[in-house]
Amino acid sequence: MQELTKTAVLDAFFNKRAALERFLIARFRDATAAEDILQEMYLKLSRTTFDTPVDNINAFLYRVANNLALDFRKTAVRQQDRDTLWGETTTHHMGGEPIDETVDVETKLDAQKKLKQVIDSMNDLPPQCRRVFVAHKFEELSYKEVAEKLNISRSTVEKHMSKALKYLADKLQDET
């Protein structure tokens, strides 16, 4: 009895496979996901032991496909949440920009060299200009906050930032 039911279900699965695929594509709008679900469905059906006969095999197949589709979607959402959380916990920010720490050694060494060049060049800036640059870029203060902190006008902050950025860009261009 058990083998007859299993054979009937698998035969029905192969006969309805194209219709099941269309059903899954309509739910996911993704043919690859539908194919993955159908493969999982076949494996599940081939491993299942049927203790009782299945009354409506077509309804049973669509129910299994739907349940696997829901599981697939839940798994995809969980994976996305894990990836997002992983990205948030492993990515550091500097100056409001994310820093990807999963870089190859050559890129990392090059970045360290450039950072050293920026720091060395920064030390050549006039003291007030350097203070403005550090407050804005490294302490992440707005121009207004920098002006208040250093007791200078916002336009003075803008002039110092412009001067610092131009100087650093020229200096780094020369060293490249």
Domains of the chain: 2-90 (1.10.1740), 95-175 (1.10.10.10)
Confidence (pTM): 0.48
Q: What are the tens digits of pLDDT across the range 34-65? A: 999 999 999 998 888 888 888 888 999 999 99
| CA-based radius of gyration for the chain | 31
Q: How far apart are CA 156 and CA 176, in angstroms?
A: 30
